[in-house]
Amino acid sequence: MKNILVAQSGGPSAAINATLCGVVEEALADRNIDRIYGAKNGIIGVLSEHLIELNDVLSNPEPLQLLCQTPSSALGSCRMKLSHWEESTFEYEKTIQIFRKYNIGYFIYIGGNDSMDTVYKLAEYCRMKKIDDICIVGAPKTIDNDLVETDHCPGFGSAAKYIAATFSEIACDCNVYALPSITIVEVMGRDAGWLTAASALGRLNGSGAPDLIYLCERPFDVDQFLTDVREKMAEKHSIIIAVSEGLRNEEGDYVTNTLKDRAVDAFGHKILAGASRFLEEILRQEIGCKVRSIELNVMQRCASHLASAADIHEARLIGMAAADYAISGGSGKMACLQRVSTNPYRFTVDFVDITKIANRVKTVPEEWINEAGNDVTQEMIDYLLPLIQGEMPCTYKNGVPVHLRLY
């Protein structure tokens, strides 16, 4: 018998713990698995040997269900980038040493684009060293929805549902007064506009917001933006604009670079924020009416009280499939959701070689952005709609949701 290890990495989401739940459920049901370990704070917890046993604490349906309604990463997360083995083998040798010490034959790493870089490097190192008794599998998670080879990513559907509901509610607030006003809402997503596109779902029940949508896939032109705003303001007194945090100009520079230099994270990505504030200042100077900017920021990542039931269900299945694949001897791949049909919505889970996924970004197709570059097409709406369906039951205590803590 062998043990299985699971860890979480990258940004939090409302669905990542459902994937953890799926991994644990599958491992508990498999007679070939003895102990289930969780690493605190991703690969950092592996290297520092901060492991916790999950068998007892998650052996009953009640805590498993509570885990599914708990947002963020119950095991903790990290944004650590492994060195390339050609530079240093220390982290790889240390990881294998820990795996041997705890008799770990299967490692499931739940995370987004950068986390799949870790899966790729560990799996490739094992392949080169002919270590064939340790199976490493990636389970996708990212609200950015930017992983390639999968139709969409667990966590995205719940974030999209939150975005849609929030824009609908912002519209109710902004339409109260008769005074001219502009509200700019900045949405996460880094260099992919999927979440910003989801703001269009806020119109489905008649709110009309947002009035304009700008994705980072299309070069942003300030002059055209001002023209678009003036045309909308001629039609209605209050407008709402959705913008991607990663808006770039024709030269490929972030529009916010004109404000100040941006720091970068461990993977070299620019730390983005401020596109809405940048545009707020421009509109205040050029249009002259009341203008305000809103950064949804971390709220869009962890709104488990508004999670998509479809998303949580898929996240749980992804975890079960990833664990089953590893226990069956599979390694070096990521579990992927493949859409069979949209109406009715059907999907399957398959596994794609991690070399085709790591360090690549899936952006919004050009044909899903309207010709003017200030909205999305019906194809985008059709793609998004199945992903936000259904509501999750939520346990409350003292008037607020109850969340599970593993340590």
Which residue numbers are catalytic? 144
Closest by CA position to 302, among listed 210, 188, 150, 197 = 188
The whole-angstrom separation of Cα 323 and Cα 69 is 21
Burial class (CB in 10 A: 0-12, 13-18, 19+), 117: buried
Do β-strands 2-8 and 104-111 pair in parallel, antiparallel, or remain unpaired? parallel
Dist. CA 188–CA 15, nearest whole Å: 17
Omega into 12 within 30° of 0, i.e. cis? Answer: no
CA distance 135 to 5: 10
Contact in structure between 122 and 95 (CB atoms under 8 Å): yes
Q: How far is CA 313 from CA 18, 143, 346, in A?
A: 8, 16, 13
Residue 75, number of CB atoms within 10 A of its CB: 25
Q: Which residue in the block uniquely carries the two structure tokens 């070939």?
A: 32
Task: Give the rounded distance of the alpha carbon of 361 from its chain centre.
Answer: 13
8 Å CB contact between 182 and 291: yes
Task: State the Cα–Cα distance between residues 371 and 377, nearest whole angstrom.
Answer: 9
CA 383 to chain centroid: 17
Q: Are strands 400-401 and 51-53 parallel, antiparallel or unpaired?
A: unpaired
Q: How far apart are CA 77 and CA 317, in angstroms?
A: 21
The token duo for 59 is 């052996």
Sheet holding 104-111, edge to edge: 51-53, 33-39, 2-8, 104-111, 135-140, 333-342, 345-353
